[in-house]
Amino acid sequence: MYKLNIAYQDFNGNNRNDSFFFNYTEAEVVELDFQEKDGLEGYINRIIKAEDGKSIIKFIKEIILKAYGEKTADGRGFVKSKELSDSFASTNAFSKLLLSLATDAKAAADFINGCTSKSLVVKDLEEYENDTPEA
C-alpha cells in the first residue's frame, strides 16, 4: 500500500492537500509481468533505451490508474474500479502526479516500488537517470 499526499488546486480554485492510495497485489504484479513479451522490466528497458516519451507517459499513466483505489474502512480490502480510476484521472492531483513521475525517474521508481511488494524497476530507472545528461 502506498499513500501519497498531493497538494493541488481543484477546479473551483481551492488549494487542496489530499491523501491518495495505490497498491498492487503480488498477483497483479505477476499479471503485469506476463502482459509484456520480455516481462515488465524488459518492457521498461526497451522504452527507456528508445527514449520513447509517448510510451513512457502511457506506461506511467497505466501504472498509476491500475494501482489507484480506496481502502475499506476496516482495512481488509482495497477497492479498485474503472469508475474510481476515471474519477481520480479527472483531478488535477492525477495530472500533477503523472507529470511528476514522467519527469523524475527516481520518483517513478519509488512510486512503482511503493505500490508493489517487490522492487521491479529501481535499478533500471535509476540507471537511466544517472546516464541522462543534466540540462
pLDDT confidence bin for 118, thresholds 50/70/90: low
The pTM assigned to this predicted structure is 0.79
121 Cβ neighbours under 8 A, 6+ residues apart: 40, 41, 44, 108, 109, 112, 113
Give tens-digit pLDDT for 52-75.
Answer: 778 888 888 988 999 999 999 998
